[in-house]
Amino acid sequence: PPLDAFDLIIFGGTGDLAQRKLLPALFHRYADGQITDAARIYGLARDSLDDGGYRERVRAALQKTMHDARAAEALDGFLALLRYRTIDLTSDAGWPELAGELGACDRVQVFYLAVGPDLFGHVGDRLQRHGLARPCTRVVVEKPIGRDAVSAAAINDALGRVFAESQIFRIDHYLGKETVQNLTALRFANALFEPLWNAGHIDHVQITVAETVGLERRASYYDRAGALRDMVQNHILQLLCLVAMEPPASLDADAIRDEKLKVLRALKPIDAHSAAQLTVRGQYRAGAVEGQAVPGYLDELGRTDSRTETFVALKAEIANWRWAGVPFYLRTGKRLAQRVSEIVISFRPVPHSIFGEQPLSPNKLVLRLQPDEGVTLWITNKVPGPGGLRLRNVPLDMSFAETFGGARHPDAYERLLMDVVRGNAMLFMRRDEVEAAWAWIDPIRAAWEASDDAPKPYTAGSWGPSAAVALIEREGRHWHEDA
């Protein structure tokens, strides 16, 4: 259904996130009729541009992501919703005019802070000073929220001085992915899994987010962040929470976030003593990804002295009743062999085998988040034929594309932006979650920084350093590979 009129004001309106994600997402919602002509969308940045110039830029960006002819027809209508205003986030220039234009608080006004986190506080203060922090105001902030627990708390304090927690939407775009939302459906809309969803029946869990891309024009950000901050602190821990949380009483935003928070707080700390056993970090060297030769990280960066990790594997444990002793093996990296994100729930073997010497493969539930979204349950079957009772592990396979048709999945940002306008915070991180995640990450970082070891090199196009394989294999387990 179409949304009521709203205003969306994007700080960083000419930036990469706005052009590559936000504006395409808004455009698709417009083309589908969810955003009406009554909406106003403002791009704000320092560049001096007028509405026309901005619309042409956005047109060029959108033409790259256009998915069908119907959408192309909607383009002019969408561009007409856009306005551009020049603004300096660290001075008052441009603000009174903006406030005048936005006018009364008679519609939802969303301010999207698609700028670096060091500017979040400034924007909050200016919004307040110019009378734009009102009941109709919502602010959206992107990760990274800080670089550690202390800086995250400072950002949250700065925003909290101006806005109520219910007005602040902290995006983790993984939560907007269809397949990630499906995890909640799978766990809580099926009677089959939940009784087995605990240490009594699950041997271990794997979460892999593998990418083939390298630095992608983000060198200055990425080299200061590294894979632990860039991916593990947010996306991967959020996935872990959704796998591990207790059933919330409802889909109420706080009911879910309370349960996720308990998981984060129950993560067993990794410290200077255990980091060497429980974590592996890597940095890619030159190699070939999907048949293309690519340079190593340091060459891409143009420096020789960086110890930033582009790969992390680690073994996490959740110290609570449900999960005691169940390892969660997590890994993520750039320039790996294949782009694939998946969660693998590996069940325990049957207690007793009646099949003699034949090895039995335990059941696995594989949730493929991207690409080729789907759910696969691996079960053991008899191989048909008159011979003996021969067993084979085979997949019960559900592909999203086959089951739900080939229609394009809305991008995560489409869902998330509409949720902000509707005021549904279910898929956004609450302050305490972000801080609890950092509290677990910080000691890992500290242990790495204190150690003399550099990240382990791996060849671009591989699955990361061999130590990441050893991390799981020395415990008699293997990283899942689709057979």
Give least dist CB 230 to ligand BG6, A: 5
Give least dist CB 225 to ligand BG6, A: 8
| Residues 313/265, Cβ–Cβ less than 8 Å | no
Cβ-based burial of 340 (10 A; exposed 0-12, middle 13-18, buried ≥19)? middle
Report the residue number, 230 or 373, with the smaller CB distance to ligand BG6: 230
Give least dist CB 242 to ligand BG6, A: 16
CA dihedral 58, 59, 65, 68 (to 10 degrees): 140
Chain CA centroid to CA 90, Å: 29
Q: Which amino acid, one-letter code, is at 139?
A: V
Q: Which residues are annotated as a binding site for substrate?
A: 173, 177, 211, 230, 334
Report the residue number, 221 or 321, with the smaller CB distance to ligand BG6: 221
Q: Which residues are annotated as a binding site?
A: 46, 88-89, 143, 173, 177, 211, 230, 334
The strand pairing partners of 110, in sequence order, are 8, 138
Give least dist CB 133 to ligand BG6, A: 27
Q: How many whole angstroms separate alpha carbon 360 and alpha carbon 193?
A: 21
Report the residue number, 88 or 178, with the smaller CB distance to ligand BG6: 178
Report the residue number, 127 or 228, with the smaller CB distance to ligand BG6: 228
Report the residue number, 274 or 370, with the smaller CB distance to ligand BG6: 370
Size of the site for ligand BG6 (CB under 6 A): 2
Catalytic residue among 28, 130, 201, 235: 235
Give least dist CB 409 to ligand BG6, A: 12
CB under 8 A, 24+ apart: contacts of 271-277? 271/443, 271/447, 272/443, 272/446, 272/447, 272/450, 272/451, 275/443, 275/444, 275/447, 275/448, 275/451, 276/447, 276/451, 276/453
Handedness of CA 168, 26, 117, 264 (dihedral sign): positive
Report the residue number, 217 or 474, with the smaller CB distance to ligand BG6: 217
235 noted as active-site residue: yes
Site for ligand BG6 in 216-275 (CB under 6 A): 230
| Residues 312/232, Cβ–Cβ less than 8 Å | yes
Q: Which residue is nearest to ligand BG6 (CB)?
A: 230
Q: How many whole angstroms separate alpha carbon 130 and alpha carbon 151?
A: 26
Give least dist CB 441 to ligand BG6, A: 15
Site for ligand BG6 in 339-368 (CB under 6 A): none
Site for ligand BG6 in 57-86 (CB under 6 A): none
Q: Which of 203, 211, 342, 373 binds ligand BG6 (CB under 6 A)?
A: 211
**386 upstream amide cis, omega within 30 of 0:** no
Determine, following the binding rule CB under 6 A, whether residue 411 of this chain makes contact with ligand BG6.
no
CB-based burial, 401-427: b 16+ in 10 Å, e otherwise: eeeeeeeeebbbbbbbbbbbbeebbbb
SS3 content of the chain, % helix, strand, coil (to 5): 40, 25, 40
List residues near ligand BG6 by CB under 6 A: 211, 230
Instruction: Report the catalytic residues.
Output: 235
